[in-house]
Chains A and B, each alone.
Chain A
Amino acid sequence: MNAVDIKELSHVYTNSKVLHSLSFQVSQSEIFGILGPNGSGKSTLLKILATLLHPTYATHVLIFGEELRTAMQKTRQKMGVVFQKPSLDKKLSVFENLKFQGMIYGFSGNTLLNKIHKLLDAFDLKDRSDDLVEELSGGLQRRVEIAKALIHSPKLLLLDEPTTGLDPSIRKDLWKYLKLLKESDVTCLISTHIMEDADQCDELLILDQGHLLALNTPHNLKKSHEHNVLILQTSDADNIALFIRDKFDLKPTFIDSYLHIETKEAENVLTTVLEAFPNKLSMARISEYSLEDVFVRLTGHRWKT
Chain B
Amino acid sequence: MENMKQYLLPVYSLWLREIVRFLRQRKRVVSALGQPLIFWALLGFGFQSTFVYPNQQASISYLKYFFPGIIALVVLFTAIFSSFSLIEDKNEGYLQGVFVSPITRLGLVLGKVLGGATLATFQACLFLILAPLVGFSLTLLSVLLFIVLSFLISILLTAFGYCLAWKMDSSQGFHAVMMLILMPLWFLSGAFFPQTNLPWLLKVVMTLNPMTYVVAIIRRVLHWKEMYLLVDTPSLALSFLVILVFLGVTSYLAWRQTNRSFG
**Interface stretch among A81-89, A121-129, A238-246, A271-279?**
A81-89
The verdict on B197 contacting chain A, using a C-beta distance below 8 Å, is no
Q: A11 CB to closest chain B CB, in angstroms?
A: 15
B9 touches A108 (CB 8 A): yes
B94 touches A104 (CB 8 A): no
A38-59 CB mask vs B (1 if < 8 Å, else 0) is 0000000000001111100000
Using CB atoms, name the residue of chain B closest to A50. Answer: B100
A115-156 CB mask vs B (1 if < 8 Å, else 0) is 000000000000000000000000000000000110010000
**Interface stretch among B11-19, B137-145, B208-216, B244-252?**
B11-19
A85 touches B103 (CB 8 A): no
The verdict on B1 contacting chain A, using a C-beta distance below 8 Å, is no
B13 touches A103 (CB 8 A): yes
The verdict on B96 contacting chain A, using a C-beta distance below 8 Å, is yes
The verdict on B173 contacting chain A, using a C-beta distance below 8 Å, is no
Alpha-carbon separation in the docked complex, A19 to B162 (Å): 34
The verdict on A96 contacting chain B, using a C-beta distance below 8 Å, is yes
Q: Taking chain A's interface residues, is the majority helix, strand, or loop, or is none over half, making it mixed?
A: loop
Using CB atoms, name the residue of chain A closest to B101. Answer: A104
Q: A96-B20, A104-B10 are in contact. Are A87 and B101 (CB under 8 A)?
A: no
A89 touches B21 (CB 8 A): yes
Q: B20 CB to closest chain A CB, in angstroms?
A: 7
Residues of A within 8 A of B97 (CB): 81, 83, 87, 101, 104, 148-149
Chain B contact-residue range equals 20 to 34
A76 touches B102 (CB 8 A): yes
The verdict on A92 contacting chain B, using a C-beta distance below 8 Å, is yes
A103 touches B21 (CB 8 A): no
- Chain B positions within 8 Å of A, measured between CB atoms, are 5-6, 9-10, 12-14, 16-17, 20-21, 24-25, 92-103, 262-263
Alpha-carbon separation in the docked complex, A77 to B103 (Å): 10
Residues of B within 8 A of A14 (CB): none
Q: Taking chain B's interface residues, is the majority helix, strand, or loop, or is none over half, making it mixed?
A: helix
Using CB atoms, name the residue of chain B closest to A107. Answer: B9
28 A-B pairs whose Cβ atoms sit less than 8 Å apart in the complex = A50-B100, A51-B100, A52-B99, A53-B262, A54-B263, A73-B102, A74-B102, A79-B100, A85-B93, A86-B92, A87-B93, A87-B95, A89-B21, A89-B92, A90-B92, A91-B24, A92-B20, A100-B14, A103-B9, A103-B10, A103-B16, A104-B13, A104-B98, A104-B101, A105-B10, A106-B5, A149-B97, A152-B101
B96 touches A85 (CB 8 A): yes
A-B Cβ contacts below 8 A, count: 81
Chain A contact-residue range equals 20 to 34
Residues of A within 8 A of B20 (CB): 92, 96
Q: A119 CB to closest chain B CB, in angstroms?
A: 15
Q: B235 CB to closest chain A CB, in angstroms?
A: 43
Alpha-carbon separation in the docked complex, A88 to B98 (Å): 11
B94 touches A89 (CB 8 A): yes
A18-48 CB mask vs B (1 if < 8 Å, else 0) is 0000000000000000000000000000000
- Chain A positions within 8 Å of B, measured between CB atoms, are 50-54, 73-74, 76-77, 79, 81, 83, 85-92, 96, 100-101, 103-108, 148-149, 152
Residues of B within 8 A of A52 (CB): 96, 99-100, 262
Residues of B within 8 A of A81 (CB): 96-97, 100
Most chain A Cβ neighbours within 10 Å, of B6, B10, B17: B17
Alpha-carbon separation in the docked complex, A105 to B102 (Å): 7
Alpha-carbon separation in the docked complex, A81 to B10 (Å): 17
Residues of A within 8 A of B9 (CB): 103-104, 106-108
Alpha-carbon separation in the docked complex, A53 to B99 (Å): 11
Q: B3 CB to closest chain A CB, in angstroms?
A: 10
Residues of A within 8 A of B92 (CB): 86, 89-90
Q: A69 CB to closest chain B CB, in angstroms?
A: 10
Alpha-carbon separation in the docked complex, A48 to B166 (Å): 22
A76 touches B93 (CB 8 A): no
Q: A132 CB to closest chain B CB, in angstroms?
A: 9
Q: B4 CB to closest chain A CB, in angstroms?
A: 11
Alpha-carbon separation in the docked complex, A47 to B25 (Å): 33
Residues of B within 8 A of A88 (CB): 93-94
Alpha-carbon separation in the docked complex, A108 to B12 (Å): 11
Alpha-carbon separation in the docked complex, A17 to B16 (Å): 42
Residues of B within 8 A of A106 (CB): 5-6, 9-10, 102
Residues of A within 8 A of B6 (CB): 106
Q: A81-B96, A105-B10 are in contact. Are A92 and B21 (CB under 8 A)?
A: yes
Nearest 6 CB-CB pairs, A to B? A103-B13, A87-B97, A85-B93, A87-B93, A104-B10, A87-B96
**Contacting residue for A91 out of B12, B13, B25, B98, CB 8 A:** B25
Using CB atoms, name the residue of chain B closest to A73. Answer: B102
Using CB atoms, name the residue of chain A closest to B24. Answer: A91
Q: A83-B96, A87-B93, A106-B10 are in contact. Are A77 and B21 (CB under 8 A)?
A: no
- Beyond A89-B21, A92-B20: 14 further Cβ-contacts under 8 Å? A50-B100, A52-B100, A53-B262, A77-B102, A81-B97, A83-B96, A91-B25, A96-B20, A101-B13, A101-B97, A103-B9, A104-B9, A106-B6, A152-B101
Q: A52-B262, A103-B10 are in contact. Are A92 and B17 (CB under 8 A)?
A: yes
B14 touches A104 (CB 8 A): yes
